[in-house]
Each structure stands twice: as structure tokens, then as C-alpha cells.
């Protein structure tokens, strides 16, 4: 809380500094412009003092009262009325200062256009007030719109992060449940492979729980833990499993959202091994290009429970939802069923890793 307060204080000080610099430059601009006409810098500074008093007062009155109270609430008539009153008052007090103070001290500069408060130049001062009103209103509305867009973007990002976290939380217990069942089956058989499976599972758990919270992970890390999962399945099925893996392309320097590839492979084992097949043939292919990755997974069709992208299970349905949140329409999933095997083809973008 204290850190936020300090940050807000620094921000306010910077804004105050910027405002002071702006008004000083505004004053200097009018002073130099007028001094060229009359060839007297001292009098030009003196007569332009309202640009440091009356003009800022009107601008801040517009920014913090007229716009919030009337313009933003669509009370157009009241905004127009009070804005017009403000413009007239700016012109009046500017002219009053000129006539009663400036020209009283420097009478040699009085001309026919400056001989009274409501002289010809009064309308020039009204035009200047109108300019201040229009400029400050446009600037205020622009920054309000930018701030609104930023808040909306922050809300959408938070919503996206929350939904992605929820979907990932569903994947974790689903995966652990399946793998623990596998280890339990081996332990019942008193298999010598049980300790190795537990070790590999612990490494996978470390990745799933602690290392997959980042929005992106290196592609080689995602594939490394994909291979860990495949090792677990090799231990589980032994010689029954005919696993063919083909990875082409350079994975270095590329990243991917975590846990996007693993559910497709897990799903192929979950639904491709439910029958009494003597040989389980699963084919996995990864083609890595410069900015995209193509994944193909093929598993046997062992019955009505075989994978479907629109199934009621958690697996691929959640992955598809994640893909839509992450990539909108910049991805594709194609599911084919020829009666003997199911095939899933995935096409998603890759992100280049940036060096710190």
C-alpha cells in the first residue's frame, strides 16, 4: 500500500511539472509573438500575464468541472451555456487587466483598438478563450478514451488469465488421476518399473504445478516433458505399445503456452488403449517451422469412447477452449475417423523467445 502511495505521489509530481512547463511555454510563446509587433519585450511580458492566470483558471475549470459535470453526462445545453459564460469572462478579465493595469502603466501603447474593455479586441480575446475550450476539451476526451481502453484491456486480460488458469487447473487433476491409476496397476503387479514411474511422475508434477504458470515456456521444455509422459506410457504398456515419434525442425528460440501439446497425446492413450488390442499403435508427428508448429496424433479406434473434439470429457474440449482464448481464429484442429483409427491435426503459431 505504501509503495503504491509513493508511486502515485511521484506520478502527481510529474504531472504538476509537465503542467507548469506547458503554461510557461504558452506564456513565452505569446510574449515573443507580441513583442515582435511592438518591439518591447518588457511590456509584452507584462500584458501577457493573463496567460499565466486567467487562461489556466478557465482551462482547469473546464477540465475538472464543465466536462465531468455536463459534457460527460450529455447535458449539452448546460455545457454550452457555462462554456460560453467562461469564454466571455476570460475575455472580460483579460481586457479589464489590459485596460486598468497594463495600459495604465504603459499609456504609450494605447491605440484605437485598445482604448476600452469592450473594444474591437474583445472579440479576439473571446476567440482565444474558444480555442482554449476546444483544445482542453479535445485533450481531456482523448485521455479519458485512452484510459477507458486501457482499463477495458486490463479487465479482458484478467478475465483471460482467470479462465486459462481455470482450464489448466482442470487438466492437472485429470492427468494425475490417469497416471496414478497406471502406477497403481504396476504396484499391484509388483513391477520393478514402479519406482522409475514414480520418479518420472514427480518430474512431470514439478513441471505441471510449478513451471507451467508462465504464459509461455520454451518449446524444447514442453517437448521434453511430453517425452517424459511418453516414457511413462512405455513403462506401462511395455511391448504392447508400438510408438512412433517423428519430430522435424528447429525448436530452439521458440516458445509456446504450456500444456498445449500434452493433452492431445494423453487423449490418444486414454481412448486408444481401451480395447483388448494385442498391439497398440500410436503415431505422433511434430513439424516445427519458423513461426508455427504442426502436430499430428493417430491412435486406434477402440469404440464409441474414442476421442472426439466435442466429447463431454475434460481433455480436448478444454484444450480447444484454451486455443480459442489464446489465438482467437489463428489455429486449426482437424479430427478424422476412418473407422479404424482417429487422427488429430493441430496447427498453432509459435512465439520467438526474447533475450533479456
| Cell numbers linked to 132 | 482554449
pTM for this model (two decimals): 0.53
Strands across the sheet containing 351-352: 217-218, 254-256, 351-352
Question: What are 301-305's contacts with CB under 8 Å, separation 24+?
Answer: 301/272, 301/337, 301/338, 301/339, 301/340, 301/341, 301/342, 302/271, 302/272, 302/273, 302/274, 302/275, 302/277, 303/274, 303/275, 305/271, 305/274
Average pLDDT over residues 166-175: 58
Strands across the sheet containing 341-349: 241-248, 280-288, 292-300, 341-349, 332-337
How does pLDDT run across 213-252, given as a tens digit for each residue?
778 889 999 899 889 888 888 877 778 888 999 999 999 8
pLDDT of residue 276 exceeding 70, the answer is: no
Average pLDDT over residues 160-176: 60
Is the pLDDT higher at 117 or at 97? 97
Average pLDDT over residues 87-110: 81
pLDDT of residue 313 exceeding 80, the answer is: no
How does pLDDT run across 58-94, given as a tens digit for each residue?
999 998 999 888 888 888 899 889 989 988 888 888 8
- What are the beta bridge partners of residue 294? 287, 347
pLDDT at 170: 55
| Low-confidence winner among 149-153, 183-187, 343-347 (lowest mean pLDDT) | 149-153
pLDDT of residue 38 exceeding 70, the answer is: yes
CB-based contacts of 24, cutoff 8 Å, min separation 6: 52
pLDDT of residue 185 exceeding 70, the answer is: yes
End-to-end CA distance of the chain: 29
pLDDT of residue 30 exceeding 60, the answer is: yes
pLDDT of residue 112 exceeding 70, the answer is: no
Portion of the chain with pLDDT greater than 90, in percent: 14
pLDDT at 5: 54
Q: Which of 5-19, 20-34, 158-172 has the highest mean pLDDT?
A: 20-34
| Cell numbers linked to 109 | 501603447
CA distances from 328 to 259, 320, 349 (A): 18, 11, 11
pLDDT at 356: 43
Provide the H-helix boundaries in 207-256.
Answer: 219-237
pLDDT of residue 257 exceeding 90, the answer is: no
Residue environment code for 258-293, b if the CB has 16+ CB neighbours within 10 A, otherwise e: bbbbbbbbbbbbbbbbeeeeeebebbbebebeeeeb
CB-based contacts of 252, cutoff 8 Å, min separation 6: 220
Average pLDDT over residues 308-317: 47
pLDDT of residue 167 exceeding 70, the answer is: no
Is the pLDDT higher at 19 or at 321? 19
The SS3 assignment for 287 reads: strand
pLDDT at 248: 94
| Low-confidence winner among 18-22, 75-79, 166-170, 325-329 (lowest mean pLDDT) | 166-170
Q: Which of 157-161, 171-175, 197-201 has the highest mean pLDDT?
A: 197-201
Q: How confident is the model at residue 297 (pLDDT cuts 50, 70, 90)?
A: very high
Question: What value does the mean pLDDT of the chain take?
Answer: 79
pLDDT of residue 178 exceeding 80, the answer is: no
3-state helix, strand, coil in the chain (%, to 5): 65, 15, 20
Residue 306: closest CA among 327, 275, 261, 263: 275
Please state, in angstroms and rounded to a whole number, the distance separating the CA atoms of residues 201 and 231: 10
- Residue 312 per-residue DSSP state: S
| Cell numbers linked to 7 | 508511486
Please state, in angstroms and rounded to a whole number, the distance separating the CA atoms of residues 296 and 287: 9
Amino acid at each position: 500500500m505504501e509503495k503504491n502511495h509513493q508511486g502515485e505521489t511521484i506520478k502527481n509530481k510529474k504531472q504538476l511539472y509537465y503542467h507548469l512547463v506547458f503554461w510557461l511555454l504558452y506564456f513565452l510563446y505569446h510574449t515573443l509573438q507580441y513583442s515582435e509587433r511592438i518591439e518591447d519585450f518588457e511590456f509584452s511580458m507584462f500584458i501577457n500575464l493573463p496567460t499565466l492566470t486567467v487562461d489556466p483558471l478557465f482551462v482547469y475549470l473546464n477540465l475538472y468541472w464543465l466536462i465531468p459535470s455536463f459534457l460527460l453526462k450529455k447535458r449539452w445545453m448546460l455545457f454550452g451555456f457555462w462554456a460560453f459564460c467562461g469564454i466571455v469572462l476570460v475575455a472580460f478579465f483579460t481586457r479589464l487587466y489590459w485596460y486598468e493595469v497594463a495600459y495604465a502603466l504603459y499609456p504609450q501603447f494605447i491605440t484605437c483598438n485598445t482604448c476600452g474593455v469592450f473594444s474591437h479586441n474583445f472579440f479576439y480575446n473571446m476567440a482565444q478563450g474558444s480555442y482554449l475550450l476546444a483544445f482542453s476539451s479535445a485533450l481531456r476526451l482523448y485521455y479519458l478514451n485512452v484510459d477507458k481502453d486501457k482499463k477495458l484491456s486490463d479487465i479482458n486480460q484478467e478475465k483471460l488469465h482467470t479462465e486459462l488458469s481455470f482450464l489448466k487447473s482442470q487438466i492437472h487433476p485429470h492427468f494425475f488421476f490417469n497416471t496414478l491409476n497406471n502406477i497403481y496397476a504396476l504396484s499391484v503387479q509388483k513391477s520393478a518399473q514402479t519406482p522409475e514411474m514414480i520418479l518420472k511422475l514427480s518430474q512431470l508434477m514439478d513441471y505441471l504445478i510449478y513451471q507451467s504458470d508462465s504464459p509461455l515456456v520454451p518449446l524444447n521444455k514442453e517437448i521434453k516433458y511430453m517425452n517424459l509422459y511418453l516414457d511413462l506410457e512405455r513403462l506401462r504398456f511395455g511391448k504392447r505399445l508400438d510408438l512412433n515419434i517423428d519430430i522435424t525442425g528447429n525448436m530452439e528460440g521458440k516458445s509456446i503456452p504450456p500444456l498445449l501439446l500434452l493433452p492431445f497425446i494423453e487423449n490418444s492413450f486414454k481412448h486408444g488403449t481401451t480395447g483388448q488390442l494385442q498391439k497398440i499403435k500410436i503415431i505422433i508427428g511434430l513439424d516445427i517451422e519458423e513461426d508455427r508448429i504442426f502436430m499430428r496424433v493417430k491412435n486406434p479406434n477402440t469404440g464409441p469412447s474414442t476421442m472426439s473434439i466435442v466429447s463431454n470429457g475434460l481433455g480436448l474440449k478444454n484444450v480447444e477452449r484454451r486455443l480459442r482464448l489464446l489465438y482467437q481464429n489463428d489455429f486449426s484442429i482437424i479430427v478424422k475417423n476412418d473407422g479404424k483409427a482417429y487422427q488429430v491435426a493441430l496447427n498453432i503459431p509459435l512465439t520467438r523467445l526474447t533475450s533479456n
